[in-house]
Amino acid sequence: MHDGTPPAAFEFYIGGSVGPSLYVRLVEGRLLYEYASAGGYSGVVTEVAPTPEEWVRFLETADRLGVREWEPEYVSPYSCSDVTYWYLRMEMGGRTVVSRGANGYPGSAGPEVSGEFREFRAAVERLIGMDR
């Protein structure tokens, strides 16, 4: 059960050479994020302070999706010119998860984005208010 306390550490990135990119990091209890709609960085950093209830919802979603059991690396054996990279580092309850991928995702055998990864990304976007 989570009490609304943010993780000790949280960092999430997803992006590639084309398409949108998102970089979120936790700094002193606040989330800073950069979003770019097409490759590269916008240079605009937005700061948000999720409520304890929002942290509880996010961390419960992460638990339900089995994020603590994600492998260190997911790389698709399928090569294509448009590669999506992602990186996650999250420390909670004294345990650190570090996972990354290149066109590979937990719960997917190929380059397709898995339902659980899609749901995790949606939870991150909800946490920083991108769904509002």
Tell me the pLDDT tens digit for each residue of 51-79. Answer: 999 999 999 999 999 999 999 999 887 66
Residue 46's nearest CA partner among 34, 36, 38 is 34
pLDDT higher for 6 or 42? 6
Tell me the pLDDT tens digit for each residue of 86-116. Answer: 999 999 888 999 999 998 999 997 788 899 9
What residue spans define the domains of the chain? 9-127
Q: What CATH topology corresponds to 9-127?
A: Mago nashi protein (3.30.1560)
């950069």: which residue's tokens?
34
Give residue 16's pLDDT: 80
What is the distance between the alpha carbons of residues 104 and 109, in angstroms, rounded to a whole number?
8
pTM for this model (two decimals): 0.90
